[in-house]
Amino acid sequence: MANMNGSCVALGNFDGLHIGHDVLIRRMIDLSYETGQKSIIITFKFVKNDLKKSSMNMKYINSPNKKFEILKSYQADEIVEIELNETVSKYSPEDFIKLLVEDYKAKNIVVGYNFTFGYRAAGNINTLREFQDKYGYSVEEILPVKYNGIAVSSTLIRNLLNEGKIHEANKLLMNKYTMDMDEINFNLDKNMGFVSNKSSILVPPDGKYMVRMGEREYLLKIVSNKKGANLIFNQEVEEIKDIVFIDKAS
């Protein structure tokens, strides 16, 4: 039974849950067993596009539904999504730490080597260490997990997907790259879908891809225009399900 006197917390955006995130979350859960404390995964939600880290309206790798589906598979005691609204997004690093300690009883905080937080991302792993004694918690840093000598990150995976390198991205993701059907306007009569440019999810570049919907595989052609991207299937679609990308077609 978890000790209600404290919790172990894993912090991260966790967009495009990858092998580095997996190491971080599993370490937090192991630590919760070692200490008898509650295990909490804390992630974040940008409530307005202009509050995103990127001024380029950065697209997400996972839809919110898909991210939570994967996070739930770790069976942590609690999954928390902190809304980065106008108030919270302007918290100083110390204010954010106080939130973790006071609201979530954080006694052990596990973060990646490149985690930043607080107003204008002013806080980092060193900031967390600086306030350990004052607020009575311990911080553990997860070093980068590397693939072909490169640190695995959501940015790396996003770049691979934007280049159409589905096979390489899938090696690093905890699940194959998937487009949530809730984000797609689908026309079953025409065997095609459409993703608006206003959507927050990433769409791979124009080309042909091997995908799976439900139990069936299809050849999917992506053709973009000024308004968004058309997703054209090579045969009749049997059921509308999330689109799982397998590889780029030759």
* 86 falls within a domain: yes
241 CB neighbour count, 10 Å cutoff: 14
Alpha carbon of 237 to those of 186, 187, 192, 241: distances in Å? 10, 10, 9, 10
The total of structural domains in the chain comes to: 2
Q: Please report the pLDDT score of residue 174 as a whole number.
A: 95
DSSP conformational letter for 175? S
Q: Please report the pLDDT score of residue 3 as a whole number.
A: 47
Q: Please report the pLDDT score of residue 73 as a whole number.
A: 96
Q: Please report the pLDDT score of residue 59 as a whole number.
A: 87
* 159 falls within a domain: no
Q: Please report the pLDDT score of residue 48 as a whole number.
A: 56
- 103 shares its domain with 221: no
* 167 falls within a domain: no
Residue 30: which domain range?
A: 3-147
- 141 shares its domain with 210: no
Global confidence as pTM = 0.91
* 226 falls within a domain: yes
Q: Please report the pLDDT score of residue 65 as a whole number.
A: 87
Cβ(187)–Cβ(195) below 8 Å: no
* 78 falls within a domain: yes
What are the average pLDDT values for consecutive 10-residue runs of the chain, which has 250 residues? 76 96 98 97 76 56 91 97 92 97 98 95 97 98 95 95 97 96 91 93 96 96 96 93 94
* 71 falls within a domain: yes
> What CATH number has the domain bearing residue 212?
2.40.10
- 112 shares its domain with 200: no
> What CATH number has the domain bearing residue 14?
3.40.50.620
Q: Please report the pLDDT score of residue 51 as a whole number.
A: 39
- 99 shares its domain with 186: no
> 128-147: string of b/e by CB count within 10 Å (b at 16+)?
beebeeebebbbbbbeebeb
Cβ(176)–Cβ(244) below 8 Å: yes
Residue where a domain stops, chosen among 147, 163, 184: 147
